[in-house]
Structure 1
Amino acid sequence: MNNETPPPSPRERFYRRERRSVPAARAFARETLADWGVRGRADDVVLCVSELATNALLHGVPPGRGFLLRLGLLPCGDGVRVEVHDSGGGAPAVPLADPDGSDEGGLLLVSELADKWGVTEREPGKVVWFECGAPAD
């Protein structure tokens, strides 16, 4: 019989299409990670949450709608998966970096900080997700 405690259930919260949603999403992510005891890459996760929430508000959430932020632990508790669900069209892509280094694209940052990221279609809209594994000891 396995005496291991099952991983905590994913946590999610819905945010309206308004500016205060981005700092609220960051705070929710930070609180959730702290509750789960995730410390090693918490700053990377929170920064990526901020970028995806901002992108959802600027490019993915139609007027009168919002986005869903979902956080979950990866199997064996070795990292975190974050999803941002929105009902807008289009598929985001990492912009090419400017040769002078002035590109500030949020997805470029996510692609650098996260171990994996991607976009999954849903009806309506899409899910932009990323995973950050636990840091090596």
Structure 2
Amino acid sequence: MVSLSRQQRFPRARASVRTARQFVGDTLGEWGVSERRDDIRLCVSELAANAVLHGVPEGREFSVRLVREDGVLWIEVRDSGPGRPTVLRPGPDARHGRGLWLVTALADGFEIRDESVGKTARAGFKLTQG
């Protein structure tokens, strides 16, 4: 199978979460991927929000990359900030902290990769279509 890849950069702004979700939705449409579309778009929203709120230094950008290969679609969100995100298991009354927990519940694979500068949060989704 041919590997597909597409990447885009986004400014550190709350509106970028919506724009990143749209980028992913548009790319999935172009690639003919319809299965798990809602899960994938929700997860990119959570990862992008995490980057904007906690990872991207002032004046910097983050990137979203989609890679489709061997029946798996990977979403990668990379920022240049310090620190490492942690998956929390918040209580029912918690007002925040569910984002990465939700990603790990919906995705078939999840990892944080340290980069020379910053890190990449990566979520994988197994696809049954071609």
Tell me the TM-score normalized by structure 1: 0.87
Give per-residue Cα distances to partners, 1:42-96, cap 9 Å, x unaligned. Answer: 1100000000000000000000001010001022xx1310100100111111102
Matched, 1:64 2:59: yes
CA distance in 1, matches of 2:13, 2:116: 23
Report the counterpart of residue 131 of structure 1 in structure 2. 124
Matched, 1:83 2:79: no
Report the counterpart of residue 30 of structure 1 in structure 2. 25
CA distance in 2, matches of 1:95, 1:117: 14
Matched residue SS, 1:119: strand
Contact 1:73/1:80, CA 8 A, preserved across alignment:
yes
Q: Number of matched residues?
A: 128
| Equivalent AA in structure 1 for residue 23 of structure 2 | F
Contact 1:41/1:135, CA 8 A, preserved across alignment:
no
Distance 1:122 1:7, change over 3 A: closer
Distance 1:13 1:22, change over 3 A: same
CA distance in 1, matches of 2:115, 2:86: 17
- Structure 1: 5+ residue runs without aligned partners? none
Runs in 1 of length 4+ with deviation above 6 angstroms? Answer: none
CA distance in 1, matches of 2:19, 2:102: 20
- Structure 1 residue 102 displacement after superposition: 4.7
CA distance in 2, matches of 1:58, 1:81: 22
- Structure 2: 5+ residue runs without aligned partners? none
Percent identity for Structure 1 against Structure 2: 41
CA distance in 2, matches of 1:84, 1:7: 19
Instruction: Give the superposed CA RMSD.
Output: 1.7
Matched residue SS, 1:89: coil
- Structure 1 residue 35 displacement after superposition: 0.7
